Structure 1
Amino acid sequence: MNQRERILAILVGGLFVLGIGQWGFNKYRTAIDTRQNRLQSLEDQRMRLMEKQNQGALADRQMGEYLVRSVSSDTEQARSTYQRWLFDIVEKHNIRAAKVSADRITPVSDLYHQMSFQLTGVAQMPQIIALIHDVQAKDYLHRIRELNIKPIKSGEGLSVDLMIDVMSLNDAPVDAVEPTTDSWRVDPKSVAYSEPILNRNLFEPPNKAPSYSGDRTLQATVGRNEAFPLAFKDPEGQTVTYELVDAPDSVSLDPRSGTLRVQSDELKQFDVVVKAIDSGYPTRTVEQSLVVKIVEPPPKEEEPEVEPEFDDAKQTYLTGLVQGANDWTAWMNVRTRGKTLKLRVGDEFEIGSVRGVVREINSDHVKIDIGDRTVTLTSGGTLKSAVESGS
């Protein structure tokens, strides 16, 4: 065998060994995958069995609760007991002309019997709602299948017709006792149950409460009686009345206008709670808390001096100096007014923006005291120019 043949034989042998190795590795991987798939299948089966076991335990517990709530498995005894209980609640709520009749008993598979009862009578709506509450609050395996409430043709009240289905489990005790706890599905308080039903307007959208849009902090001046109109608005435009919920004696509230009045002689701060009530059906209320601060009165603002649009002093001329028997008289003509002032020493006057006192009069001039200075007015001169020149 030459060199070339030996190389070829080695290559063929190597390929054969590689093929055997690949085949063995594939067989190993296939066995591993099969084992893992089997393990996963067994785990899934175990989880399904555990889930069924949990469901069975849950069903047993649920069935135990049903057995406690069920009437007697003796259908005649169960019908008598339930019918007697219905008569008791009818008497409790003063249902007039009441009738309670037992209807058919229907077996359902081998689990329970369904009994039907009919209750009829006449009462006002609050009594009817209270009756329905007692039926639904009782933790029996029962339900109100049908309810009819109609006005009666004569007399007062409404006619009520209830169809009730009751379940009697076959495995329940023959001497089953009446449930002592209320159903968790219904509010145990009759008032909380009936209020949303009775306080409802069936002919309009739900009534909305008034809302407050004013300031939450009010400032009143000490020693003053101040009024604050409260800005409550009702979405439906209903009439709103007002009440004080919590406030000191220094606060009062007009129930119709909603004007809050505060009068206090002390500097302090306090809270006030007011209530707004609308006139809708049913009425809605809202409470609003306010903070009232009693503060010092603001400082008085000095009113700025307003100069007249036209100053009469600019058109006031000294037209004459007249000597009398004992004194002199100065004649000042106010042309804008069409009049002449005849002034003597000591006379006070006010012309336009000038206010002064005549100090001295002689044949040449008049001296006038204006404030803390003295000005001199000569014949033919205007009063305003004498003041501005200061002479």
Structure 2
Amino acid sequence: MTRLLIFFVLTLLLPIPALSQQALIESGPIVSPENLKTGAVTFRLLAKNADSVQINGDFLPTEKRKTEFGEIDVPVTANLSKDENGVWSFTSGPLESELYGYSFLVDGVVTTDPNNPFLIRDVSTVTNTFLIGNGQADLYRVQDVPHGTVAHRWYDSPGLNMDRRLTVYTPPGYENSTEKYPVLYLLHGAGGDEKAWLELGRSVQIMDNLIARGSAKPMIVVMPNGNVIQDAAPGEGKEGFYKPEFMVAKTMDGTYEATFMDVIRFVEDNYRVRAQKADRAIAGLSMGGFHAMHISRYYPDTFDYVGLFSAALIPREDATKKVYSNLDETLRIQKENAYKLYWIAIGETDFLYQSNVEFRKKLDSIGMKYEYKESEGGHIWRNWRIYLSEFVPRLF
């Protein structure tokens, strides 16, 4: 017993990295967020010396705010109440099943919740996250079902003269089979990268759960990086750690679309795929929807399935390259080559709503068939996760 005690004391005296010490000290009894049986959620923060604490999250009511992108819906902040121990708290109303994000404002300074280690990055903003189940968000949970495999792969892009990274999901059983699979190319929005659909979009959980339910066919999902000046997501490539930007150079000037076959060639050379038009789909959100629309018409006999999620179909001054020429003519060629599904979805308060109206008028004018979904809400990940979960079962 004495030897054991001495060993224990010596262990405590050994140097411990500062962050490990901090983790030991800060792992207190405060629970935040706490999901209540009513469907409400309580948030707590210990801040004895703070004069005010507020919370901002996508579960709160929204208000209209004018921005450089037009009028958009922005969540309002809510005030927390302080108890005698210096713990601030706020309890929401009952929440629908969804994946939510939030952050605190302590005396006006934005900070994350130290009692919630689950974080996501959207462009350069980091927020905590929590999930309310028993509904739509059950698709976003890791369920007790067969799981696919996620790999970050580097591929040679001759068109961009660099090695680049993309994310690939292979369905359950891929490694142990000889079967060939169809492919969905899933594109992110402005400020995103090859990790966006994986982390913010819960694409892997959605795919696993839809396949397990029998609602979707097993398929490979390829999530490339659409920022052509990057080799990989910030912090993951040769440029090291730097602050991510919302719009980097050359993202919507035609370079990505013109070199997209580099991605397809890598996938078809390295994975067991059915390399036919009928077995390829392309979809994207916002900027990725812009890319998906132009890639599918620039290579008009390549994809049988196209999905535009809140697509950024607005005119751009830098859209001057060959990729963007003869829009009407190439759309007609795409129509004449035939396809199985052209799917457009957008929120009714999305700042890109009107540009999507105008694009649908163009499709109507040339007799190009499409399916259209209009949902509540604006330019938000909540919509894009739902769109993916409804689009994927329509494929192949």
Task: State the TM-score bracket (shorter-chain normalisation).
Answer: under 0.3
Structure having greater relative contact order (Cα 8 Å, sep ≥ 6)? 2
Query: Max radius of gyration: which structure?
Result: 1
Q: TM-score, normalised by structure 1?
A: 0.23
Higher strand share: 1
Q: TM-score, normalised by structure 2?
A: 0.23
